[in-house]
């Protein structure tokens, strides 16, 4: 009965159009990034940012996401590569979602500071968009049958087809962790959209996103077949660090952190000028 209830379909690992070979996985990531960006822009504008500022950040974030996603994957699978040249061949597959998110943030940081934008306002505006981008990206994963996990009798397991899959299908029916992540992130997106309807301190939404999605990844990766370091995958170690930081902020800090509030840097100068003018009047 478990096998009969399993999900079964033939994946489409590559689509060939003339000389081109296109991966639905890559298309899903690209479309997810673009649609997630569209969700971010109105939220950012409500927080005082312009669309031009947001798109400038997103341009840098896109580059950082590619670099971060590849670096994180290679770092977790060093034994798979014999040379730096092999590690740089991102088109052959192998990226890390969490690495991509952190790479995007790091690449956009200098521009945030130059534009005197609050890191926390930017990230709160981005949080639902990141979740939406993950959801769409996971559709690409499902099309190519990627992130297949351990053998299972779970009714939502994936029955291995007699066809190529993007990741090894090691069993008759296996966990399809991309499907679990897809559904979990839909719930997370709904929660974020609900939470942002009420005014909260800057940073609240991104802290909720980090704690929630990090917890999801820790659980899901126990079902994956992947390289492990001290019993956990690289994504699990990253997720645990993210959970620790985000939960600390939500439980103990409960306000906007002092770091990254670059939109407030003008205020001390203005206050100093006002104090100086008042002092001159008293003299």
Tell me which DSSP letter residue 151 carries.
E
pLDDT of residue 22: 87
Q: How far apart are CA 246 and CA 240, in angstroms?
A: 10
pLDDT higher than threshold 90 for residue 11: yes
Q: What is the mean pLDDT of the chain?
A: 88
Global pTM value: 0.87
Q: Which range is least confidently modeled, 1-15, 106-120, 246-260?
A: 1-15
Q: What is the mean pLDDT of residues 150-177?
A: 92
pLDDT of residue 269: 42
Longest Cα–Cα distance of the chain, Å, equals: 90
pLDDT of residue 78: 81
- With 0-12 / 13-18 / 19 or more C-beta atoms within 10 angstroms meaning exposed / middle / buried, residue 120 is buried
Q: Position of tokens 């670096």?
A: 71
pLDDT higher than threshold 90 for residue 105: yes
pLDDT of residue 76: 83
Q: How far apart are CA 271 and CA 262, in angstroms?
A: 16
Degrees to nearest 5, angle at CA 250 with 246 and 252: 110
Q: How far apart are CA 217 and CA 132, in angstroms?
A: 16
Q: How confident is the model at residue 91 (pLDDT cuts 50, 70, 90)?
A: low
* Domain locations along the chain: 15-269
Q: Position of tokens 């890390």?
A: 96
Q: What is the mean pLDDT of residues 34-51?
A: 95
pLDDT of residue 265: 59
Q: How far apart are CA 66 and CA 3, in angstroms?
A: 37
Pick from 234, 230, 236, 233: nearest CA to 218: 236
Q: How confident is the model at residue 94 (pLDDT cuts 50, 70, 90)?
A: confident
Assign 106 to helix, strand or coil. Answer: helix
Q: What is the pLDDT of residues 181-231, one digit of tens each?
A: 999 999 999 999 999 999 999 999 999 999 999 999 999 999 998 889 899
Q: What is the mean pLDDT of residues 87-98?
A: 78
Q: Is the dihedral of CA 110, 112, 113, 119 positive or negative?
A: negative
Q: How confident is the model at residue 87 (pLDDT cuts 50, 70, 90)?
A: confident
Sort residue 171 into left (φ over 0), alpha (ψ -120 to 50) or beta.
Answer: left
Query: Which is more confident, 266 or 171?
Result: 171
pLDDT above 70 coverage of the chain, percent? 90
Tell me which DSSP letter residue 229 carries.
B
Query: Which is more confident, 188 or 93?
Result: 188
């Amino acid at each position: 009965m478990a096998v009969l209830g399993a999900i079964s379909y033939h994946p489409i690992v590559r689509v060939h159009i003339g000389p081109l070979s296109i991966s639905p996985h890559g298309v899903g990531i690209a479309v997810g990034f673009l649609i997630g960006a569209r969700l971010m822009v109105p939220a950012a504008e409500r927080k005082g940012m312009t669309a031009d500022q947001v798109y400038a950040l997103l341009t840098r974030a896109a580059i950082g996401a590619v670099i971060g996603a590849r670096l994180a994957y290679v770092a977790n699978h060093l034994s798979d590569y014999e040379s730096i040249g092999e590690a740089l061949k991102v088109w052959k597959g192998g990226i890390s979602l969490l690495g991509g998110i952190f790479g995007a943030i790091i690449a956009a940081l200098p521009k945030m500071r130059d534009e005197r934008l609050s890191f926390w306002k930017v990230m709160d505006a981005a949080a639902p968009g990141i979740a939406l981008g993950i959801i769409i990206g996971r559709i690409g994963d499902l099309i190519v049958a990627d992130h297949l996990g351990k053998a299972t009798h779970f009714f939502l397991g994936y029955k291995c087809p007699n066809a190529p899959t993007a990741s090894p299908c090691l069993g008759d029916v296996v966990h399809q962790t991309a499907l679990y992540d897809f559904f979990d992130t839909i719930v997370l997106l709904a929660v974020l959209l609900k939470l942002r309807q009420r005014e909260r301190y800057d940073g609240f939404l991104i802290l909720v996103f980090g704690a929630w999605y990090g917890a999801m990844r820790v659980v899901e990766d126990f079902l994956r077949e992947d390289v492990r370091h001290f019993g956990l995958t690289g994504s699990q170690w990253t997720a645990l660090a993210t959970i620790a930081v985000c939960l600390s902020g939500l439980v103990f800090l409960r306000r906007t952190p002092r770091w990254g509030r670059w939109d407030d840097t003008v205020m001390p100068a203005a206050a100093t000028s006002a104090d100086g003018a008042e002092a001159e009047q008293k003299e």
